[in-house]
Amino acid sequence: MSSTLETAPVTGEERKRQLRKAIGAAGIGHFVEWFDFGLYGTLATVISLNFFQQVNAQAALIAAFAVFGAGFVMRPLGGLFFGSLGDRIGRKTILAAVILVTSGATFVMGLLPTFGVIGLWAPILLVLVRLVQGFAAGGESSGATTLLIEYAPANRRGFVTSFIDVFGFSAFVAGGGLVLFLTSVMSADDLNNWGWRLPFLLAAPLGLVGLYMRSHLEDTPEFLAIKAKGALQKSPLLASLRTSWRALLFCVGFVVLKAVGHWILQTFMPSYLQTNLGYNRPVSYAVTVIGLAVIVVLVPFMGLLSDKIGRKPVMIAGCVGFIVFTYPTLMLMSAGNFVAATCAMVILGIFMAAFDGASSAAMAELFPTSIRYGSISIAYNLAVAFFGGITPLFAAFLITSTGNTFAPAFYVMGAALITLLVVVRARETAHSPLPS
C-alpha cells in the first residue's frame, strides 16, 4: 500500500495550510516539554540550593542532576503507554493528552515548597513531579516526529521533521534567555528565593495554547488511510518487536548521540561553566543561549541538506565532529573568557545541528505507519533513559572522580562513536517511499 503523501505531490493551499498547522501543533507541545527540561538544567545550581541540604555546592548539584535523571526512568513506560495508544487511536488525541500532563507538571514545579520549608519532603515532591514529567515526555518526541513525517511531502521529510529540534532548542533558548533576563534584573537572593519559580509558571498558558492547537488538528493522512482500510494493529508494540526488531536497534543507535549531545549542551553546560570553569551566571547563560540559538538556525538547513544528499552523510558528519572536536572545545572553554566559551559552544552546536537535522526523519523512515509511533517511542525512550538521563549526573561524577575538568568529553566522544558505527551500517532512507 502506498501512502497518499508518497503518491501525490503536495499541491494546493489547503495541503500547505494543513502542513503549517501540523508543524505548529507539533512544535508547541515540544516547546513546552523542553522548556521545562531546559529550565531545570539552566537553573540546576539554584534548584540545588533550594531542594537539598547543603554540604557543598558540587554534591548538591549532583543531587539535583540525579533528580533530573529520575524523570528519565519513566520515559520508557510513558513511551510504551502513549506510543501504543497513538498507533491504535490516533496521533493528535494522544499528543493533546501529553501536552496537558506535561504543562501541568511543569506548572506544579513552580509551586513546590523548598527544603527550608518542609525539609526532606521537598526533594521527595521534586522527584514525584519529575517522574510525572518523564512519563508524559515518553510520548512527546516520538509522537511529534510521527505527526510531522506523516504530513510531510516525500521530498521534504528531513526539512519538515527538523522543526522538532527547532522548537526543542528554541525552548531552551527561550528558557535560558528568560533566566538570563531574570539574572540581570533581580538580585541573586531574589532569584534564589522566589524568582526561579516564575519561568515554570509560564507552562500553564503555553500548555493551554498547545492543547487547543492539537485538539483542533486533523489526524495525519497516513494514519487515516490505514484506519480506513482496517489495517490498524491490535497490538502495535508486539508487532513492532516481532517484525521490526532490527529497525528498533538501529533507532536506538541513532538516539545515543542525540540524547547525550542534547543533555550535555542543554542541561549540563550552564552549571559546568559556573561550577567547574568559574564563569558567572550571566556569562554562562549567555554562552549557552548563543550556542543553542545557532542550532535553531542551522537545523532546518541540515534537514534540507539531508533531503538532497541523504541522511547518512549528514549524520556521519555530526558524529565525526563530536569525536574530533569535543575535547578541544572544552579546553577552549577553560580559557575563561566569553568569546572563547561562545566559540566552543557554537562549534559543538554546528555538529549537533547536522546530526539532528537528519536523524528525526531517519528514525521515522525505519517503520511502517501502523507501528511508527510506538516503535519510535520504544527505541527513543530506552536510549534517552539509559544515555541521556544520566548524562548531566555522569558528567559531574566523572569530573569529581577523576579530577579532570574535561573528562565529560570522553563520554560524549564514546556516544558519538557508537552512533557512528550504527549509522555506517544503516541503509539510506531519504529517497525511498515512506513505509506504510
Q: What is the pLDDT of residue 53?
A: 67
Q: Cell numbers for 97, please give them.
A: 493528552
Contact criterion met (CB below 8 Å) for 321 and 313:
no
Between CA 314 and CA 353 the distance in angstroms is 10
Tell me which range, 139-153, 225-239, 310-324, is most confidently predicted by mean pLDDT: 310-324
Between CA 175 and CA 190 the distance in angstroms is 18
Q: Position 410: which residue type?
A: F
User: What is the average pLDDT across 360-365?
Assistant: 96
How far the first Cα of the chain sits from its last, in Å, is 6
Which residue would you say has higher pLDDT here, 73 or 12? 73
**Does domain 7-425 correspond to CATH entry 3.40.50.300?**
no
> What is the rounded (10 degree) CA torsion for 258, 253, 105, 45?
-50
pLDDT digits (tens, 9 = 90+) for 147-168: 999 999 999 999 999 999 999 8
Which of 359, 17, 44, 48 is closest to 179 using CA atoms? 44
pLDDT digits (tens, 9 = 90+) for 78-115: 999 999 999 999 998 899 999 999 889 889 989 999 88
Q: Cell numbers for 334, please give them.
A: 577553560
User: CA-based Rg of the chain, rounded to a whole angstrom?
Assistant: 21
State the Cα angle at 91 between 86 and 95, rounded to 5°: 95
Between CA 221 and CA 147 the distance in angstroms is 10
* Position 67 confidence tier, pLDDT thresholds 50, 70, 90: confident
pLDDT at 41 over 90: no
Mean pLDDT of the chain: 88
State how far Cα 100 lies from the chain centre.
Answer: 18
User: What is the average pLDDT across 338-364?
Assistant: 96
**How is 211-249 classified by DSSP, letter by letter?**
HHHHHTSPPPHHHHHHHHTT---SSHHHHHHHH-HHHHH
pLDDT at 364 over 70: yes
State the Cα angle at 218 between 216 and 219, rounded to 5°: 130
> What is the rounded (10 degree) CA torsion for 92, 145, 22, 4?
-90
Q: What is the pLDDT of residue 7?
A: 42
The per-residue b/e assignment along 386-402, b for 16 or more CB within 10 angstroms, e otherwise, is bbbbbbbbbbbbbbeee
Between CA 201 and CA 364 the distance in angstroms is 33
Contact criterion met (CB below 8 Å) for 354 and 302:
yes
pLDDT digits (tens, 9 = 90+) for 370-423: 999 999 999 999 998 888 777 877 888 899 899 999 999 999 999 999 999 999
Q: What is the pLDDT of residue 58?
A: 65
pLDDT at 5 over 50: no
pLDDT at 3 over 60: no
* Position 270 confidence tier, pLDDT thresholds 50, 70, 90: confident
pLDDT digits (tens, 9 = 90+) for 48-60: 888 876 656 667 7
Q: What is the pLDDT of residue 10?
A: 46
pLDDT digits (tens, 9 = 90+) for 164-214: 999 988 988 888 778 878 888 888 889 888 998 998 998 889 889 888 988
Q: What is the pLDDT of residue 255?
A: 95
* Residue 9 φ/ψ, nearest 5 degrees: -65, 155
Which of 87, 140, 83, 161 is closest to 430 using CA atoms? 161
Contact criterion met (CB below 8 Å) for 429 and 315:
no
Percentage of the residues of the chain whose pLDDT score is greater than 90: 50
Between CA 387 and CA 171 the distance in angstroms is 21
* HEC per residue, 241-286: HHHCHHHHHHHHHHHHHHHHHHHHHHHHHHHHHHHCCCCCHHHHHH
Output the pTM of the full model: 0.86
Which of 263, 350, 338, 337 is closest to 42 using CA atoms? 263
Count how many Cα atoms sit within 13 Å of the Cα of residue 141 in the half-sphere of its side chain: 33
Which whole-number Å values give the CA distances from 77 to 82, 226, 242, 422, in the listed order?
A: 9, 26, 19, 25
Q: What is the pLDDT of residue 57?
A: 65
